[in-house]
Structure 1
Amino acid sequence: MTVEITRLASGLTVVTENMPHLESVALGVWIKSGSRNETEDEHGIAHLLEHMAFKGTSRRSARDIAEEIENVGGELNAATSTETTSYYARVLKDHVPLAVDILADILTESEFDEEELRREKHVILQEIGAANDTPDDVIFDRFSEVAYRDQTLGRPILGTPETVKSFTPNQIRNYLSRNYTTDRMFVVAAGAVDHDAFVKQVETRFAKLPTKPSAQPVLDVARYVGGEVREVRDLMDAQVLIGFEGKAYHMRDFYCSQLLANILGGGMSSRLFQEVRENRGLCYSVYAFHWGFSDTGIFGIHAATGADDLPKLVPVILDELRKCSETVHQQEIDRARAQIRAQLLMGQESPAARAGQIARQMMLYGRPIPNDEMMERLAGLTTERLTDLAGRLFFDTVPTLSAVGPIEQLAPLAEITAALSSPGIETKKAAG
């Protein structure tokens, strides 16, 4: 399998990877723009635009879009994140021209009809309501709001009922013309695709894309703040999320942070799963994660437990953080590398996952990252690097605490911070 890249005269980048054993193609358009690129009065508009793109063009009604792709057994969808937006399709190889045509149509000819906009606003208001009723969603939204207080990175992607209700077709068009330009867009396909033919189709159908933004795209510099937010709710489980400032994609410790998250809470053999769930039975779910952004990152630990186990759970988690700053075993590093390698290779067996992976690497690094190079970066990480990073992550930054549910017995943030500021002393006392 070989990745081929063509940059069109318009500035649009086209990337393919041929997977000759397949009969299908996953293809899409990835835009280096998301909720972080919204102005104050545009909160939620990136997500609304993603919805409205499917609601009718000058050539197709919303029903036409759905029926044409499904008439050939294909699928069409989209997603909005903080820094990217994607529109993608999965079709049999003979129907790639149709998928390209539809994707180009919704991105260059959408009409943003007033009546369709009214209906879609109502749909998104229901989506916001559903998210507010889901503790797993609430705790992460609140967490981001506190970690990046009063910043676009800390705002929920969906927006608020007030902002969503206020949007007009012209506001959507202004956001579109400012952010959906060829220098920020990547058209990627993986599967049974011929590169040259695909490039010609894209060049023809996406010719109407603007090459320059109508105004300078918005992107405020992230400032990690930290702090806490608690919301008492009548739930079965108490949801707790403890986090720290992580590393951006381009920082030296990014891959080290990914490996540390895997060792601490990346699977059934991880430290948190073994100690918190298997040895002590304190919760059903516990894991660690590291999210990288263009200029910052977040390292977090999420757990859900009963109210009565909450006073025991947090000290155990803090103690595991301390232990990571003292000792990491080579066997743990080897196992985490093997897990990451397996995830990487297994993901490449799916054309949809592979197309998304290529698109992300193009947006972040300007090129696809070969598997060998990825593993080389991980191979250079030592036990000393990991313990040093753990010490700096967990004990040198202000923590962020988000909690939802029956959390009356959760320790004050000052107590948790004190334990983290004195590794091996306060934490041991709390764990005892």
Structure 2
Amino acid sequence: MSRPWEGVTRTRLENGIEVLLEPIPGVRSVAAGVWVRQGAAHEAPERMGGSHLLEHMVFKGTERRSAHDIALSLESLGGSLDAYTTRESTGFTARVLDRHLDEALDVLADLVRRPLLRAEDLDLEREVVLEEIAMVDDTPDDLVFELHGERLWAGHPYGHRILGTPDTVRAITADDLRALHAEAYVGRRMIVCVAGHLDPDDVLARVRQLFGDVPAGCEATPVPPAPRLVPGSERVSRPTQQCHVVIGTLGVPHGDVRRLPLVLLATALGGGMSSRLFQQVREKLGLAYAVHTVQSFYRRAGFTGIYLGTRPESEGRAVQAALDELRRAAEHGLPADELARVREQVKGEVILGMESTSGRLHRLAHYALHEEPYRTLDQVLERVDAVDADAVVAAAAEFLPPERQVALSLGP
């Protein structure tokens, strides 16, 4: 079944795989990707990190390619091959010249469909992932988000560590990964997207050839609703030069009408050098080098917050300055001129993000993963312009009061 969106061909294969194709005139490259609805939030606590470990393991060899063959396959053509795991999905992407699209699709299909998942490869790759976990543990501005997430989500799957823990990663076996692959890498949980210089009919035929016989399988088990928010503060001792602080709260799902007001508020508060937090905490008070807002929007819930890094002697003043900005926005929203400015900033970021085939690719996947209706660029910009002051005031009053926040500080 095919259904045209404006400039985009959307097809659902008989096995449930959703295929989205966007021709882009005037480019010589193409970006392609396969997404699987399987991430950290779908894992049992004792199997935490399994989705990410499986993402690593598919690169260790397939029925047709060795690990070295996979590494060479697109790099030797001047292209790139990448993969990542989130809390709700695993993605495999490639970017190549248009004349190499067939090879890129073949490599992607080989990776996601026919990995060997050998025990001897797992013994080695497990060590690589343990090094990755150690790297995060040695990077306090990454670790603080892991710790804050565990505190904020209070046992909910959205608080799972994507990489897992040393104990859970050591406990995962090759049989576990084979079972996960058989369960999750199926048609009803898979999305294929391609954007760039392409002929939709030709590409769709190739996708059918490569993916048409993937077993349909079952859809992913829904993530449970968000937990009850328990505001408060926590300190984790670590011998670092700076204190790393995250202040944040439970937000809204991606499809919630309050998402765009929250995006505009986050842009005003910490979305660049002109933002309130940057100007106050860094430029005026000199209390931090890095200070910015952070947001995540999942299918069932979300997170909105602030990160700042400051020396121990400045921590109290820096945190108070950030909380003061939250309270000011919570009580007054944004004045008309500031709201107009951040609307233009957000619209500009959206437009610039579509200036590459990779940007277009991830936009296609974004709509499919969230099961939201596709919107043209003009429709997206109109939605940003439609966010009025009342919606911003309401979102600020609901989500920004300091009393609603969970604060976690990592440092001496």
Asked if TM exceeds 0.5, the reply is yes
Q: Report the TM-score, using the length of structure 1 for normalisation.
A: 0.90
SS, match of residue 215 in structure 2? coil
SS, match of residue 205 in structure 1? helix
The whole-number CA distance in structure 1 between the counterparts of 2:386 and 2:372 is 23
The whole-number CA distance in structure 1 between the counterparts of 2:111 and 2:75 is 16
Residue identity matched to 1:62:
A
Structure 1 residues not aligned, in runs of 5+: 407-432
Q: How far 1:216 moved relative to its partner? A: 6.0
RMSD: 1.7
The whole-number CA distance in structure 1 between the counterparts of 2:350 and 2:122 is 39
CA distance 1:156–1:65, change in 2 (3 Å): same
Find 1:363's aligned residue among 351, 369, 374: 369
Q: Does 1:297 align with 2:333?
A: no
CA distance 1:168–1:158, change in 2 (3 Å): same
Find 1:77's aligned residue among 82, 105, 123: 82
Equivalent residues in 2 for 1:73-152 (5 A)?
A: 73-152=78-157
Preserved CA contact (<8 Å) 2:39 2:85 = yes
Preserved CA contact (<8 Å) 1:32 1:185 = yes
CA distance 1:68–1:288, change in 2 (3 Å): closer
The whole-number CA distance in structure 1 between the counterparts of 2:188 and 2:226 is 23
- Residue 396 of structure 2 aligns with which residue? 390
Preserved CA contact (<8 Å) 1:39 1:218 = no
The whole-number CA distance in structure 2 between the counterparts of 1:401 and 1:318 is 10
Preserved CA contact (<8 Å) 2:16 2:216 = yes
Preserved CA contact (<8 Å) 1:147 1:224 = no
- Residue 48 of structure 1 aligns with which residue? 53
Q: Does 1:405 align with 2:372?
A: no
- Residue 3 of structure 2 aligns with which residue? none
SS, match of residue 54 in structure 1? helix
Find 1:11's aligned residue among 16, 24, 46: 16
Q: Is the deviation greater in 264-273 or in 68-77?
A: 68-77
Preserved CA contact (<8 Å) 1:26 1:190 = yes
CA distance 1:96–1:157, change in 2 (3 Å): same
Structure 2 residues not aligned, in runs of 5+: 1-5
Q: How far 1:2 moved relative to its partner? A: 1.8
Find 2:286's aligned residue among 262, 281, 297: 281
Q: How far 1:379 moved relative to its partner? A: 1.8
SS, match of residue 253 in structure 2? coil
Q: Is the deviation greater in 276-285 or in 117-126?
A: 276-285
CA distance 1:318–1:386, change in 2 (3 Å): same
CA distance 1:322–1:225, change in 2 (3 Å): closer
The whole-number CA distance in structure 1 between the counterparts of 2:327 and 2:289 is 22
Residue identity matched to 2:381:
M
Preserved CA contact (<8 Å) 1:20 1:192 = yes
Q: Report the TM-score, using the length of structure 2 for normalisation.
A: 0.94
Q: Is the deviation greater in 359-368 or in 296-305?
A: 359-368
The whole-number CA distance in structure 1 between the counterparts of 2:393 and 2:291 is 21
Q: How far 1:388 moved relative to its partner? A: 2.3
Q: What percent identity do the matched residue pairs reach?
A: 35
Q: How far 1:194 moved relative to its partner? A: 1.3
Q: How far 1:366 moved relative to its partner? A: 3.8
Q: How far 1:218 moved relative to its partner? A: 6.0
- Residue 418 of structure 1 aligns with which residue? none
